[in-house]
A and B are shown apart, each in its own frame.
Chain A
Amino acid sequence: DQQVKQNSPSLSVQEGRISILNCDYTNSMFDYFLWYKKYPAEGPTFLISISSIKDKNEDGRFTVFLNKSAKHLSLHIVPSQPGDSAVYFCAAKKTSGSRLTFGEGTQLTVNP
């Protein structure tokens, strides 16, 4: 039962354009969402998060949008840079506890 799904295994964009990565979830008990970035041979690193009481959180070039009614969140990167090329994981946390449930990841490639 995949409670967090990232339906696009890969995404390719041109440098300077916007990258949009999508994530859907099924469990209504999730109240906190995070995005992690992973380079090859490294562990995932935290990128940005959002609480379910918000619908948008912005940090520099990165913005996360949350649509609770649709159980959908997205990560926008603008402008995209070649160094953004990595696997991006969406993760969700339930109201109680600190365990995270991760999606399958999306490989983003930003072409110079």
Chain B
Amino acid sequence: GAGVSQSPSNKVTEKGKDVELRCDPISGHTALYWYRQSLGQGLEFLIYFQGNSAPDKSGLPSDRFSAERTGGSVSTLTIQRTQQEDSAVYLCASSLDWDISGYTFGSGTRLTVV
């Protein structure tokens, strides 16, 4: 596609349930990133995939968070046993290995845990 596509755009879930967030990067982009923006906060790095290398998971806040990238394309971010503090906008971005314009972001998934 022409841009980075994320689904769903909005998700409301009950505390304790698991959620899956999906990201379709720009075709040909080798790098894929997940960030989140909590209310009033900046963009917090979560995880980074680059080609076939092992992902950089250093930003995942707890072991309830995991992500995978299948076939070097689509990525799924999974949050298990959601908590209210997980409520945020989850942003996915992709890029070539490196480009001076950085990343192309999707529109995000707004997750609300009630």
Residues of B within 8 A of A11 (CB): none
Determine the main DSSP class of A at the interface with B: strand
Select the stretch in A14-22, A65-73, A76-84, A101-109 that faces chain B.
A101-109
A-B contacts, CB under 8 A, total = 59
- Judged by a CB distance under 8 angstroms, whether B100 is at the interface is yes
Interface size on B, residues (CB 8 A): 26
**A41 sits at the interface (CB 8 A):** yes
B43 CB to nearest chain A CB (Å): 4
- Chain B positions 45 through 62: 1 when the CB is less than 8 Å from some CB of chain A, otherwise 0: 100101000001000000
Q: Give Cα A103 to B44, complex, Å.
A: 9
Across the interface, A43 reaches (CB within 8 A) one of B50, B100, B101, B107, namely: B107
Q: Is there contact, CB below 8 Å, between A46 and B107?
A: no
Q: Once the chains are docked, how many angstroms separate the CA of A89 from the CA of B89?
A: 15
Cβ-defined contact, B102 with A43, below 8 A: no
B91 is an interface residue with CB less than 8 A from chain A: yes
A103 touches B45 (CB 8 A): no
Asked whether, in the complex, the Cβ of B91 is within 8 Å of the Cβ of A104, the reply is no
Q: Which of A1-34 contact B (CB under 8 A)?
A: 4, 6, 9, 32, 34
Q: Are A42 and B107 in contact (CB under 8 A)?
A: yes
Interface residues of B (CB under 8 A from A): 4, 31, 33, 35, 40-43, 45, 48, 50, 56, 91, 93, 95, 97-98, 100-108
A residues with a Cβ closer than 8 A to B are: 4, 6, 9, 32, 34, 36, 41-46, 49, 89, 91, 93, 98-105
Name 9 A/B residue pairs within 8 A (Cβ), A-sorted: A34-B102, A36-B102, A43-B93, A43-B105, A46-B102, A98-B50, A98-B95, A101-B45, A102-B45
